[in-house]
Structure 1
Amino acid sequence: MLRKLGQDPESPDGKSPTVYLDEETDNYILQGWRVTDPDRLAQLDVPGHETVIEFPKRMMPFFPEVKLAQEAPGDSPDTR
């Protein structure tokens, strides 16, 4: 089962990008902007059974591990 962890609050349509957790595999599923620029793709080694998406850095707090690290006691905002 997929659990939605968060959606880009700055998305103009409110539909993308989105971070999900697959509770059966414990893997993340990311919905984002398809990377189609040939120059950018040429810098990657993407097997035929994979794809590449892009999503904004501002969405990192939706990942539970990042959120827990940010809430760590004694952590100051300027060290994040």
Structure 2
Amino acid sequence: MSLLFFGKDPDSDDDHCPSAWVDETTADLVLQGWKSDDATEAQCLNFGSIPDTEAVIRIPARMVPQLRKACDAAERAANESNLR
């Protein structure tokens, strides 16, 4: 697995940064974010379960430019390798 880094939250300190990568092998987005609070998780549960292998995270809106770039790169990689 090789991760292509797209950026960290510009307003967070170095130890607590939401971040975005793309897995160059699978074209998956890999995101690091803040753990959701109980109220957010409870609202998400209205739409379905959250398995133990998944997590609800928050990514700040100010990271949209990095996420957009990561999504574009993931889409290109998926199209090039027919991962869809």
Identity score, percent: 38
SS in 1 for 2:43: coil
Choose which of 21, 32, 53 in structure 1 pairs with 2:57: 53
CA 30–60 in structure 1, closer or farther in 2 if over 3 Å, else same: same
TM-score by length of 2: 0.66
- Listed one character per residue, the Cα deviations across residues 6-39 of structure 1 (whole Å, up to 9, x for unaligned) are 111111236511101101110111111111x222
Match of 1:28 in 2: 29
RMSD: 1.8
Stretches of 4+ moved more than 4 A in 1? none
2: CA distance between counterparts of 1:49 and 1:40?
A: 18
Q: Which runs of 5+ in 1 are unaligned?
A: 67-80
Match of 2:40 in 1: 40
Task: Find the structure with the greater CA-based Rg.
Answer: 1
- Greater shift after overlay, 8-17 or 56-65? 8-17
- Matched positions, count: 65
SS in 2 for 1:48: coil
Q: Which amino acid aligns with 1:55?
A: I
Distance apart, 1:56 and its partner CA? 0.4
Which fold has the larger relative contact order, with Cα–Cα distance below 8 Å and residues 6 or more apart in sequence?
2
Distance apart, 1:43 and its partner CA? 1.1
SS in 1 for 2:17: coil
